[in-house]
Amino acid sequence: MSEIKKMKFAILGCGNRGQVYADYALQCPEEAEVVAVIDPNPVHLKETGDRHNVPQERRFDNIHDFLAAKIECDSVVNATMDQQHYETALLLIEAGYNQLLEKPICPKEDELLDLERKAKEKGVSVLICHVLRYAPFYKRIKEILNGGTIGSILTLEQNEHVKIGHFIDSFVRGKWNDENRCGSGLLLAKCCHDTDLMCWLNNASAPKTVSSFGQRAWFTKENAPKDSTEFCYNCPHTNTCLYSAQKIQLDVDEFPFQTWEGMGKPIEEVSYEEKVEYLKTNEYGKCAYKFDVDLVDRQVVNVLFENGSTATLTLVGGSVRADRYIHIVGDKGEIEGHMIDEKFVLRIFDREKFDFVEEIITVSDDIVSSDKYGGHGGGDFALMKDYVRFLQGADTSISITRLDDSLNGHKVVYAAEKSRRNETVEKIR
């Protein structure tokens, strides 16, 4: 048996997602290693560089110095912020680097198509981090669909419920709370996973027409409790409000890597007293109702495919349980399940009995998730494993996500946002 070539990676953007992908090299050191790190945040740069023993001369605070150094590697993991994807991805393409690009690809359709064109011209690969394709829950569903078990898809229904803590920390108080600041609306930032799944699972056809409705209707100043203050620490409602920063950021501390990022030192070195003082003036301590931002807090998307099949997606921000739900109806059967349960139901119509037979398919044993932060139902680990095989030229799974295979899911988002703003029905170009 021939020796497996170890893949060399550079990590561009050493925040949460960049560290998740980089940590694959620690779990599988025989397959991958990190040879360079790039991030303007000195704490992130040092933390990731130290974790992977990257020499000082291969640690860069900007992409231009990295490119000038001409570091040899098999791929760059591009985990920059949404609004930086187009510029950084284009620079890497022009420099001849393969890259694994975090979703969303970019906020504008012309930029998306430009990246596709430039990558083909340059002959480099660009793969997208649609990690849910790799989650065993969705991968098994796709395998069943490809096998024709439930026949042709008639309808596809999806729900994404973003739990209170996640929604508040990321999309109300966090750096994704304003489209102008982060470069993406909520649908693109959070649910391009789901529109990608919609188009991947139903790729016997292509999306044709889209309509969408949604708005910011709950997290507004008008809904703030009477006598509430601008910051939670001195608010009379802080002990009862579901969205209190004292509860979410201090007591629960669900997303410490986001909340305390701006404190200028590693999270484990930040004291409780420092956190208390920080929340008195920082946005993470501000009333959830009193932000002047434009992100919606709920949205529905309706899609008509060219073959007549239809799909719906409902996004809810601030639900009591985090979950993704799917229900696919085919002409021979159906699939229904909640991702959080790590199982789904397969129903096949029995013509002789004129009834259906039901099978529960459990995927929990297929989930491998050894990374420090993430998961996505096992998708993070599986994505990196598949990507290493892709770079090695070995066989890959049905989940592999090239840039040109990710276009339709993003186009649905672009059309949905146009529909939502203009109250129109939009055709996919």
Q: pLDDT tens digits for 260-302?
A: 988 988 888 999 999 999 999 999 999 999 998 889 999 999 9
Q: Do 326 and 407 lie in a common domain?
A: yes
* CATH number of the domain residue 52 falls in: 3.40.50.720
Domain that holds residue 245: 221-285
Q: Do 325 and 416 lie in a common domain?
A: yes
Element (H, E) at 211: strand 207-215
Cross-strand partners of 274: none
In a domain, 1, yes or no: no
| Residue 374 banded pLDDT, cuts 50, 70, 90 | very low
Q: In the listed set 94, 128, 162, which residue is the last one of a domain according to the structure?
A: 128
179 three-class SS: helix
* CATH number of the domain residue 408 falls in: 3.30.360.10
| Residue 373 banded pLDDT, cuts 50, 70, 90 | very low
Percent of the chain with pLDDT over 70: 97
Q: Do 37 and 120 lie in a common domain?
A: yes
Q: Do 29 and 92 lie in a common domain?
A: yes
H helices within 216-255, ranges in order?
A: 245
Q: In the listed set 128, 147, 168, which residue is the last one of a domain according to the structure?
A: 128
In a domain, 381, yes or no: no
Q: pLDDT tens digits for 4-19?
A: 789 999 999 998 889 9
On the question of pLDDT at 103 being above 90, the answer is yes
Residue 363 contacts residue 144 (beta carbons within 8 Å): no
Q: Do 146 and 124 lie in a common domain?
A: no
Give the mean pLDDT of 47-63.
97
Residue 299 contacts residue 139 (beta carbons within 8 Å): no
For residue 369, what pLDDT is reported? 59
Q: Do 118 and 30 lie in a common domain?
A: yes
In a domain, 380, yes or no: no
Q: Do 238 and 116 lie in a common domain?
A: no
Q: Do 190 and 46 lie in a common domain?
A: no
Give the number of domains in the chain: 3
Query: Alpha-carbon distance 321 to 165, whole Å?
Result: 10
Query: Alpha-carbon distance 130 to 193, whole Å?
Result: 6
In a domain, 245, yes or no: yes
For residue 355, what pLDDT is reported? 84
In a domain, 255, yes or no: yes
For residue 231, what is the DSSP state?
A: B
Q: Which residue has the higher pLDDT, 372 or 223?
A: 223
Q: Do 351 and 421 lie in a common domain?
A: yes
Tokens of 193: 């996973």
State the pairing for strand pair 153-163/310-319. parallel
Q: Do 199 and 331 lie in a common domain?
A: yes
Q: In the listed set 268, 285, 302, which residue is the last one of a domain according to the structure?
A: 285
Q: pLDDT tens digits for 180-189?
A: 887 788 999 8
On the question of pLDDT at 312 being above 90, the answer is yes
In a domain, 394, yes or no: no
Give the mean pLDDT of 24-40.
95
For residue 3, what pLDDT is reported? 61
What is the model's pTM? 0.92
| Residue 384 banded pLDDT, cuts 50, 70, 90 | very high
Q: Which residue has the higher pLDDT, 378 or 80?
A: 80
Query: Alpha-carbon distance 62 to 50, whole Å?
Result: 18
For the chain, what's the residue count?
429
In a domain, 391, yes or no: no
On the question of pLDDT at 350 being above 90, the answer is no
Which of these, 410, 405, 422, lies nearest to 109 by C-alpha position? 410
Query: Reading across the β-sheet that carries 298-305, which strands appear in turn?
Result: 355-362, 343-350, 333-338, 323-330, 153-163, 310-319, 298-305, 207-215, 426-427
Q: Do 182 and 94 lie in a common domain?
A: no
Q: Do 49 and 150 lie in a common domain?
A: no
In a domain, 301, yes or no: yes
Tokens of 155: 């309808």
On the question of pLDDT at 90 being above 80, the answer is yes
